[in-house]
Structure 1
Amino acid sequence: MANIKSAQKRIQTSERNRLRNKSYKSAVKTMIKNYLAAVDEYAANPSPEAMATVQTRMSAAFSKIDKAVKRGVIHPNAGARRKSHLARTLKQHETPVAS
């Protein structure tokens, strides 16, 4: 334990920020998990309703990732990488259009 008052305050601040960052990261992971579940459901049974669910959850996941980046919880490149992964996952499960 720190003996200097400013160091003690810094420990408290760091702990508070760590818990807040952990909460944001957990929320991002949950949104991603919900989105991937919706994509799997859409892949198993393609329908307009399933696609609407996928689009809604993708939007929510993108929003949560962007907020985490804005607050400095995750690095901007990491946020871009995660969003790219989500879009790529959907693209792989979409049915190809015959030309």
Structure 2
Amino acid sequence: MPNLKSAERRMRKSEKRRMRNRHYKSMMKTFIKKVKNAGTKEEAELMLKKVYSILDKLVAKGIIHKNRAASYKSKLAQFVNNFPITQPQQA
């Protein structure tokens, strides 16, 4: 336990920030999974736009680094562009 009043306040603030950051990171991971588990390429592209928006917001808030966000964007775009054809073409 902290001895100083300022250290006590600092501890409360850091715990609030940790919980907030945890929420945002969890949300980010959930949306990334939604892109990867999309049924169709069109669905994946729609989710990709949402993920881009979320990643940009997290960078602006300082929760993740801009290079990490760029890496996620690049990998997800590559995944969507090479989206596997799950249903066979019928002639």
Which residue of the partner structure matches residue 80 of structure 1?
70
Which residue of the partner structure matches residue 8 of structure 1?
8
The SS at the match of 2:37 is helix
TM-score (norm 2): 0.87
Which residue of the partner structure matches residue 53 of structure 2?
63
After superposition, the C-alpha distances for 1:14-48 in whole angstroms (9 at most, x for unaligned) are 0000000000000000000001101xx3xxxxxxx
Count of residue correspondences: 85
Please, which runs of 5 or more residues in structure 2 have no aligned partner?
86-91
Higher relative contact order, chain-length normalized (CA < 8 Å, sep 6+): 1
TM-score (norm 1): 0.80
* Alpha-carbon distance in structure 2 between the residues aligned to 1:56 and 1:33: 13
Q: Which has the higher helix share?
A: 1
Which residue of the partner structure matches residue 20 of structure 1?
20
CA RMSD of aligned residues (A): 1.4
Q: CA deviation at 1:52?
A: 2.6
